[in-house]
Amino acid sequence: MSVLVGKKAPGFKTDAVINGNQIIENFSLEQYLDKKYVLFFFYPADFTFVCPTELLAFQEKLKDFEERNVAVIGCSVDSAFSHWKWLQTELKEGGIKGVKYPLVADLSKTISENYDVLAGEYTYSENGESVFHGIPKAYRGLFLIDKNGIVRHQIVNDMPLGRSVDEALRTIDALQYFEENGEVCPANWKKGDEALKETQESISDYLSQK
């Protein structure tokens, strides 16, 4: 598994569904450079079981992300037409109607490959035929990208393991606090807690209070 933290987030141009109902071409993360942070997350597939719980949970907290100047973007190996259909389907029927943030189509699986979250790989048979080994879907990868386009945080869960939206918000708070104050955030830090200056004295004082 590649570690992308500290590196430029892989770019792409692809179809996406925005505002819950509009299919557009050439969607790219470049539009957010110097303007917004990006929380870019992968999920295995549309019309599944765990995935709607995550997508709806991100939508429920979308205002919290927007207040932090963060664009939330989802991605799977489905087509934009599949995304669109799922977005039009009522919740009681297994849909995600009401989700408004962009859903990126990765039908070619190249975005998943570049972020190294594809649950398998292509090889060649003895006859020279391309063969896929594994599951042609993405693991539950999540990448926090800063306004300079640099990945600052990543997690990758196996497919059965849903992620914590609150933890994503906490990580964003920690990054933004560091950027604004130059102080680092200790274990379990949350907004409003004391942070640390990068000195031995500061760390010793913090630990002595525990």
CATH at residue 107? 3.40.30.10
Any domain includes 110 = yes
> Residue 208 belongs to what domain range?
164-210
Same domain? 29 vs 78: yes
Any domain includes 9 = no
Amino acid found at 196: L
Same domain? 133 vs 56: yes
Element holding 202 (H helix, E strand): helix 200-208
Same domain? 68 vs 116: yes
Residue partners of 136: CB distance under 8 A and separation at least 6: 77, 109, 118, 119, 120
pLDDT along the chain (210 residues), means of 10: 93 97 97 98 96 96 98 98 98 96 97 96 85 92 98 97 97 96 90 76 52
Same domain? 132 vs 168: no
DSSP secondary structure letter of residue 101: S
Report, as residue numbers or ranges, the catalytic residues.
Answer: 51
Q: According to the model, what pLDDT value does residue 198 have?
A: 63
Whole-prediction pTM value?
0.91
Same domain? 158 vs 182: no
Q: According to the model, what pLDDT value does residue 209 have?
A: 61
Q: According to the model, what pLDDT value does residue 205 have?
A: 55
Q: According to the model, what pLDDT value does residue 201 have?
A: 47
CB 185 within 8 A of CB 178: yes
Same domain? 173 vs 154: no
Cα dihedral value 44, 100, 60, 75, nearest 10:
20
